[in-house]
């Protein structure tokens, strides 16, 4: 008989079954729930705002709407690289706010069944992985499934303020 912890993990994972937009940062592939994705756009002019964290690149004007933009590679403390023709911005709805995240490239939309999602790894108490909702297995590859709200938890007050200022 499964323990309560195993039952809770299964319930959490079953809520994650569905379609994911996958993207790459370096050699790693990540997935975001497709329902949070508003659109994917090419890299465009980003207006810097002084005194922002290094990963907060600034804001863009997308059809008259000002949207804060975060470089996800820098947010994850990865090495900064030169943007390429594949670099793009994924515009998402996060807690009813629009935010853009810069990724190296968008890969595909995949449908991941519950049986192909494992819980996030336990890496000890000093390593926080609460922003990972699971590990999706697709063939021989794995995709790190992200909870974008938890990835951006600390930035949400700033994002909300930037969105309100722009209205």
Q: What is the pLDDT of residues 137-160, one digit of tens each?
A: 988 899 999 988 888 877 766 666
pTM reported for the whole predicted model: 0.82
Residue of 108, 61, 60, 104 lying closest to 85 (CA atoms): 104
CB half-sphere exposure, 68, CA atoms < 13 A? 26
What structural domains and CATH numbers belong to the chain?
Answer: 4-166 (2.40.50.180)
34-82: per-residue pLDDT in tens? 999 999 999 999 999 998 889 999 999 999 999 999 999 999 999 999 9
pLDDT of residue 13: 45
Q: How confident is the model at residue 15 (pLDDT cuts 50, 70, 90)?
A: very low
Sign of the Cα torsion 68, 73, 77, 82 reads negative
Spatial CA neighbour of 63 closest among 80, 48, 44, 50: 44
Closest by Cα among 128, 148, 158 to 72: 148
Tokens at residue 89, please?
Answer: 């911005």
Distance CA 159, CA 146 (A): 19
> What does the DSSP assignment read for the chain?
---HHHHHHHHHHHTT-EEEEEEEETTEEEEEEGGGEEEEEE----B--TT--TTEEEEEEETTEEEEEEEHHHHTTPPP----TT-EEEEEEETTEEEEEEESEEEEEEEE-GGGEEPPP---TTS--TTEEEEEEETTEEEEEE-HHHHTGGGHHHHHHHHHHH-
- Reported as a single tens digit per residue, the pLDDT across 100-138 is 999 999 999 999 998 999 888 776 554 567 788 889 998
- C-alpha distance across the termini of the chain, in Å: 54
């Amino acid at each position: 008989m499964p323990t309560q912890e195993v039952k809770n993990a299964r319930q959490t994972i079953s809520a994650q079954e569905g379609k994911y937009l996958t993207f790459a940062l370096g050699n790693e592939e990540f997935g975001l729930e497709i329902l949070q994705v508003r659109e994917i756009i090419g890299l465009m002019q980003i207006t810097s705002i002084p005194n922002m964290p290094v990963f907060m690149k600034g804001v863009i004007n997308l059809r008259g709407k000002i949207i804060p933009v975060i470089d996800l590679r820098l947010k994850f403390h990865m090495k900064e690289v030169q943007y390429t023709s594949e670099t793009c911005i994924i515009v998402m709805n996060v807690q009813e706010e629009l935010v853009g995240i810069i990724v190296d490239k968008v890969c595909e939309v995949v449908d991941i069944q519950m049986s192909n999602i494992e819980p996030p790894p336990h890496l000890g108490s000093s390593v926080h992985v609460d922003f990972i909702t699971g590990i999706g297995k697709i063939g021989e590859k794995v995709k790190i499934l992200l909870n974008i709200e938890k990835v951006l938890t600390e930035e949400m007050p700033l994002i909300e303020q930037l969105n309100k200022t722009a209205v």
